[in-house]
A and B are shown apart, each in its own frame.
Chain A
Amino acid sequence: MHLDHSHEGPAAVSADAARPDGTRRALRIGLGGPVGSGKTATVAALCRTLRDQLSIAVVTNDIYTREDAEFLLRNAVLPPERIQAVETGACPHTAIRDDISANLEAVEDLEEAVGPLDLILVESGGDNLTATFSKGLVDAQVFVIDVAGGDDIPRKGGPGVTTADLLVINKTDLAPYVGSDLGRMARDAAEQRGELPVVLTSLKSADGVGPVADWVRAQLAAWTA
């Protein structure tokens, strides 16, 4: 028995940077976070901002439906063939971490069908503060929380808040209405994350997703370097 990767057919190992034909695959970025924090809205805004410069596709994860994919389709952020929905059953975190089969299949199918692609965004189903993506599925991950979910979330930590490659604190426009202290959230996040970046966004404002898009561009530059 040997673990070489030269067998014919589909790749046996998920994290390989090359596709079976030897070309470089797309950069895969995961977006996770609690229910309602703005993951789908962030994906939609990223697609609108980046789609003219980059070839993009999206994989959505929902527990029982295809809501998120349908939202993206309704809003026409990408042509339908560039959006794939994965239904995860009752375990959204299992599908992005413990058993990534269905999501890997979706990203590979997208690359085969509409590639070559520069970027694939994989949006997890809404979950809790422990959700993280497997390194076998994505190259970098964004964790999205929001101001209205409580300004103590960054302090509470958890793997999503502390280890994600980018932490997005969304819906800053709501802070005055829900009594959240943005300064405290930023300080707590910095304390939990050390050098890892944090951005505060309000997707309602013009180019609200700008800081996230800039981060994605930097990731892509590093990936293709």
Chain B
Amino acid sequence: MTRAALLVLTDGRFPAGGHAHSGGAEPAVKAGRIRNADDLAAFCRGRLHTTGLTSAALAAAAAHGLDPLALDEAADARTPSPALRAVARKLGRQLMRAARATWPSAELAALAAARPRGAHQPVVLGLTARSAGLGPEDAAHCVVYETVSGPATAVVRLLSLDPFEATAVLARLAPSSTGSPSRPPPPPASASTRCPQLRRRCSTSPPKRTPPGRSASSPRNHPPGAAPCTSTTATKDRPP
């Protein structure tokens, strides 16, 4: 049952507003930094190790049951750009609507009441996963996947890139998205993916600061798998 919930949440058609966002791929294309499938792979790898990592930690912590308002503040602290904060909260608000219609819960209702203009999207995503009966690792995987699936879909549209090539990029990124398969799964209490850095962050309450210059918990511009189109709304997202 929970596996099915994860599929619903990560489905590119989950209606949470992400279709209008490219995760920074649009300005990267415009600036000539993404021209082909190899560039897309490099862009996605960079995103996984920066925005994706921090966002996954936030989502996992929320799914684990940490105070979403404290996590929301932690996300704010990691998002210095006012434009990115605004987009992160906008997408959080849009995800909240879809989440409350699909997996209503008292925790979601409480966060919606406390942040009527929207909490940061990764925090809402983690709480959504929790309401759907999913665990922290599921929430982190969901974030990681959409961190790269959004730009891939956007680049197919922006460059008319061969869709098979773009999907192959996502498949080839799978090992770095999930960590080494030879590693044993983490203990359930650690609220983490298999990435050691992420495990450390998730096992303590609010994640530690991110390196300067990284667009850390910047809005994951394409929430629950929503297949993004491209939009100038997301152009301020910094490519890696």
Contact = CB atoms under 8 A, between A and B. Distances in A.
To the question of whether A and B form a pair in one complex, the answer is yes
Interface of A: 1-4, 7-10, 12-14, 63-65, 87-91, 94-95, 98-102, 104-105
Given A7-B100, A12-B97, A87-B20, A101 B230 contact: no
Given A89-B20, A91-B20, A105-B90, A8 B233 contact: no
B157 interface: yes
Interface in B95-117: 96-98, 100-101, 103-106, 108-110, 112-113, 116
Q: Is the interface of B mostly helix, strand, loop or mixed?
A: helix
B20 A95 contact: yes
A209 B58 CA distance: 52
Interface residues of B, number: 37
Contact of A65 (B98, B103, B158, B232): B232
B101 A94 contact: no
Contacts of B109: 7-9
Contact of B228 (A3, A8, A89): A89
A65 B231 CA distance: 9
A94 B231 CA distance: 13
Contact of B19 (A1, A65, A91, A104): A91
B226 A7 contact: no
Given A8-B109, A10-B116, A1 B104 contact: yes
B16 A101 contact: yes
A88 B231 contact: yes
Interface string B201-239: 000000000000000000000000010111111000000
B51 interface: no
Given A7-B109, A91-B20, A101-B94, A12 B229 contact: no
A163 B55 CA distance: 43
Contacts of A9: 109, 112-113, 116
Given A2-B104, A102-B94, A89 B16 contact: no
A144 B44 CA distance: 41
Contact of A1 (B22, B103, B231): B103
A78 B185 CA distance: 59
Q: Is the interface of A mostly helix, strand, loop or mixed?
A: loop
Nearest to A103: B17
B112 A101 contact: no
16 contacts: A3-B104, A7-B106, A7-B109, A8-B109, A8-B110, A10-B116, A12-B104, A65-B232, A87-B231, A88-B20, A88-B231, A89-B21, A95-B19, A100-B15, A101-B94, A101-B97
Given A7-B112, A9-B116, A94 B104 contact: no
Contacts of A64: 231-232
B13 interface: yes
Nearest to A102: B17
B122 to A, nearest CB: 17
Given A9-B116, A102-B17, A102-B94, A90 B232 contact: no
Contacts of A1: 103-105
Contacts of A89: 19-22, 154, 228-231, 233
Contacts of B94: 101-102, 105
Contact of A12 (B13, B21, B22, B100): B100
B232 A87 contact: yes
Nearest to B226: A99
Contacts of A4: 104
